[in-house]
């Protein structure tokens, strides 16, 4: 599919295409490799979490801070 063809699709059709594309990627998470730097960063963050599990904020609080709305 060419980029010009995408412009002919409605917004709803393009959103569906994005969703379908994302689902096809998510179906094969093993196909997405991480670089050594990304693996090291994930290990670093996990170590920080393990050292202080109380650090951070709960998702509802983060969501409210970002959007100004409560999850309900």
pLDDT for the residue 2: 81
Q: Which residue has the tokens 């709803």?
A: 12
Can you give the pTM of this predicted structure?
A: 0.46
Segment 9-59, tens digit of pLDDT: 999 999 999 999 999 999 998 888 899 999 999 999 999 999 998 888 999
Closest by Cα among 12, 35, 34, 16 to 24: 16
More confident residue, 4 or 69: 69
Alpha helices in 1-72 (DSSP H): 3-7, 11-26, 36-51, 59-67
Hey, where are the domains in the chain?
1-33, 34-72
Predicted pLDDT at 46: 94
């Amino acid at each position: 599919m060419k980029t010009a063809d995408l412009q002919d699709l409605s917004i709803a059709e393009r959103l569906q295409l994005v969703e379908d594309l994302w689902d096809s990627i998510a179906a094969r998470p093993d196909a997405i490799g991480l670089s050594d730097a990304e693996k090291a960063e994930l290990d670093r963050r996990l170590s920080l979490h393990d050292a202080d599990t109380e650090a951070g904020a709960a998702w509802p609080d983060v969501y409210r801070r970002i959007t100004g709305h409560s999850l309900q």
